């Protein structure tokens, strides 16, 4: 008894199927519908091969098919015993042999299971199309053999046809060449063969082999050098004097026939300009064997056509090398910008508050949770958002920022969701919004609390994974974006006041990161100051090495109402204006603004002892201080106090009588 086995059939026409091998029964393969496995490929014979049982197992035999049977990569000649994993190839159909029972659980991907036969029928139109195929070729040999097919045919193939065939072959050869010398030699050999020349040379400027040739109108002969030489039976050392100058000056091809040396027969010469962008940038010179056939205008035409193809190839190669240089330069610039961006995005400091933020970033970055970053303006909210992006699995995607407070409601909607052409006045073309630009990346929305209620509703739907429509459009756009929102507003108060949607607030506040102000992390002030000092000194070329002790003390004691942004600008200004190698206090130019939430009193300032007094005493003191401030001008003082001049006189008289 033969061991149980089955075949996994991969048919590109009908898909995959499983065929059981029945005991003591042979299975035929071929195009005929009576076969156990029907091959839907015109390269298969009606009865192509068979699989049959033997005492040692299952074997396969080719039935003298027209195109043969492959077992693996070897053509099947004799009967072969199949082993598990063997692949039989008939045309584009693959049959894999396995032992045991076929898989029966769902999801195996093996398609339908058939016991003994596979007679899947094709639609009539597909059968008709299959029958109409007469030839198949995996690759073309026309371009490789075109030269041979046009030679040795006498006048059966007209000369113009042979020239066109050679030019076609040359065009593909030039397209595959990688440098100027190679394309020059290919063109020279083609031109020499077509014109019957024995020797030739190509002159091109040095830039033609490595840099752009565009704009070389009126190129000087002194700039040319030989880049390809076809010496033939004797060296090419008798180029007609003035030939290069004449060809470059007239931009015309020349055919000449002259005696090159005393006692020698006449020899024909062809000199042709090589043009790029319509201007001559080089010269090809060919010499026919002395005493041979005379060169004709047809030869000149052919060489000109070859030189025109060479000129296009030189121009394309030069443009390709310029583009390659630009790409290399751009890649280097991108790398430098990435390093600079990484330096700007680095979180400087070692305070406990900053370490807590870094820990939060590490935990939330690897998730898909929406993050709400809260903190005062200039405290580094965008820096936190970028750190979340750079530490997530979206770091290779875009990081897009948008300030919601900087745009009106209409413009904000267009910036977020994009617009179609003609959606509003000035919309002259379709524009993708920030959501589309941030696809597979991160979108940071700064000042999210300034978003209008109408846009909040549309924004909420996108946050929940729904597609959106561009302004003025009807096509639905689906994006995969992680949103990081930032604000310095109290969103709870905005929700209570009806200025911010309650559902959007809870949707944004999945994870909340509070960024402390700089005055709450004084341990980081000196580190940040030295960081910005080194950076701006390098950018400006100033030799500023540090701060004076007084400057450091001033930095530490200052309350920094503008937070890190103010510190950065303060250090940049000091580096630019500093006259010494150290920054002093007067170069810092610290402001006198109060911090957000301050009442005008610096932290640490002590209140004077409270002294109770009557309202009349307070009024008296205030009025007298106002009079003193305006120099005793009662009319002006009354206007400032918001009372009549007569009322002021009565008050002064009353206080004077006491």
- Once rounded to an integer, what is the mean pLDDT over residues 228-238? 70
Cβ–Cβ < 8 Å for 319, 212: yes
The answer to whether residue 503 scores a pLDDT higher than 70 is yes
The answer to whether residue 151 scores a pLDDT higher than 70 is no
Tell which residue, 260, 506, 514, 263, has the closest CA to residue 379.
514
| C-alpha–C-alpha distance, residues 491 and 18, integer Å | 63
| C-alpha–C-alpha distance, residues 92 and 80, integer Å | 21
In this structure, what DSSP letter does residue 398 have? -
Cβ–Cβ < 8 Å for 593, 555: no
Say which range, 77-91, 120-134, 192-206, 550-564, has the weakest mean pLDDT. 120-134
The answer to whether residue 156 scores a pLDDT higher than 70 is no
pLDDT the model gives residue 601: 47
pLDDT the model gives residue 618: 87
Strand partners, 286: 200, 270
Strand partners, 21: 5
pLDDT the model gives residue 237: 59
Strand partners, 75: 70
Say which range, 204-213, 547-556, 560-569, has the weakest mean pLDDT. 204-213
The answer to whether residue 444 scores a pLDDT higher than 90 is yes
- Once rounded to an integer, what is the mean pLDDT over residues 625-646? 85
3-state DSSP helix/strand/coil % of the chain, to nearest 5: 40, 20, 40
- Res. 600 pLDDT band, cuts 50 70 90: very low
Which parts of 72-157 fold into alpha helices (H)?
124-132, 142-149
pLDDT the model gives residue 263: 57
pLDDT the model gives residue 442: 93
State the Cα torsion 648-649-652-656 to the nearest 10°. Answer: -170
Say which range, 122-126, 499-503, 527-531, has the weakest mean pLDDT. 122-126
């Amino acid at each position: 008894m033969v061991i149980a086995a089955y075949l996994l059939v991969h048919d590109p026409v009908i898909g995959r199927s499983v065929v059981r091998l029945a005991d003591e029964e042979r299975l035929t393969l071929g195009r005929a519908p009576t076969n156990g496995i029907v091959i839907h490929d015109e390269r298969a014979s009606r009865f192509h091969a068979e699989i049959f049982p033997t005492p040692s197992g299952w074997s396969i035999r080719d039935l003298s098919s027209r195109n043969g049977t492959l077992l693996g990569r070897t053509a099947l000649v004799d009967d072969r015993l199949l082993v598990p994993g063997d692949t039989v190839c008939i045309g584009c159909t693959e049959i894999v042999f396995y032992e045991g029972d076929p898989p029966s659980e769902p999801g195996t991907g093996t398609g339908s299971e058939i016991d003994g036969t596979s007679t899947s029928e094709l639609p009539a139109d597909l059968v008709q199309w299959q029958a109409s195929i007469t030839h198949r070729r995996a690759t073309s040999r026309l371009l490789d053999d075109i030269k041979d097919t046009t030679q040795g045919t006498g006048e059966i193939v007209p000369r113009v046809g042979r020239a066109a065939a050679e030019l076609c072959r040359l065009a593909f050869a030039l397209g595959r060449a990688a440098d100027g010398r190679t394309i020059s030699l290919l063109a020279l050999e083609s031109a020499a063969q077509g014109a019957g020349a024995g020797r030739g040379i190509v002159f091109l400027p040095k830039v033609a082999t490595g840099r752009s040739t565009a704009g070389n109108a009126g190129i000087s002969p002194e700039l040319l050098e030989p880049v390809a030489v076809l010496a033939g039976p004797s060296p090419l050392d008798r180029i007609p004097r003035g030939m290069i100058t004449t060809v470059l000056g007239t931009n015309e091809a020349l055919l000449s026939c002259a005696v090159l040396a005393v006692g020698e027969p006449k020899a024909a010469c062809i000199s042709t300009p090589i043009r790029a962008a319509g201007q001559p940038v080089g010269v090809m010179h060919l010499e026919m064997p002395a005493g041979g056939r005379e060169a004709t205008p047809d030869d000149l035409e052919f060489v000109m056509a070859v030189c025109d193809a060479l000129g296009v190839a030189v121009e394309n190669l030069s443009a390709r090398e310029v583009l390659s240089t630009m790409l290399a330069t751009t890649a280097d610039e991108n790398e430098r910008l990435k390093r600079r961006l990484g330096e700007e995005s680095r979180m400087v400091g070692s305070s406990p508050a900053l370490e807590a933020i870094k820990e939060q970033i590490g935990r939330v970055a690897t998730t898909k949770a929406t993050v709400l970053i809260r903190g005062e303006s200039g405290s580094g909210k965008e820096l936190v958002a970028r750190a979340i992006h750079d530490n997530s699995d979206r770091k290779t995607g875009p990081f897009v920022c948008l300030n919601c407070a900087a745009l009106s409601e209409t413009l904000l909607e267009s910036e977020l969701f994009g617009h179609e052409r003609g959606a509003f006045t000035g919309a002259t073309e379709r524009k993708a919004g920030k959501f589309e630009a941030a696809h597979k990346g991160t979108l940071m929305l700064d000042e999210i609390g300034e978003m209008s209620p109408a846009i909040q509703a549309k924004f909420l739907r996108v946050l929940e994974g729904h597609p959106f429509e561009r302004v003025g459009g009807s096509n639905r756009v689906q994006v995969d974006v992680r949103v990081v929102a930032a604000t310095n507003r109290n969103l709870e108060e905005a929700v209570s006041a009806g200025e911010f949607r309650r559902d959007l607030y809870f949707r944004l506040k999945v994870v909340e990161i509070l960024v402390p102000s700089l005055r709450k992390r004084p341990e980081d002030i000196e580190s940040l100051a030295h960081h910005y000092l080194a950076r701006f000194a390098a950018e400006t070329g100033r030799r500023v090495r540090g701060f004076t002790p007084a400057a450091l003390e001033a930095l530490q004691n200052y309350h920094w109402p503008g937070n890190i942004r103010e510190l950065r600008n303060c250090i940049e200004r000091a580096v630019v204006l500093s006259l010494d190698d150290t920054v002093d206090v007067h170069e810092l130019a610290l402001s006198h603004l109060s911090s957000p939430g301050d009442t005008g009193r610096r932290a640490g300032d002590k209140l004077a002892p409270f002294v109770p007094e009557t309202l009349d005493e307070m009024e008296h003191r205030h009025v007298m201080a106002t009079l003193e401030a305006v120099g005793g001008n009662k009319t002006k003082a009354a206007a400032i106090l918001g009372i009549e001049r007569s009322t002021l006189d009565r008050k002064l008289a009353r206080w004077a009588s006491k």
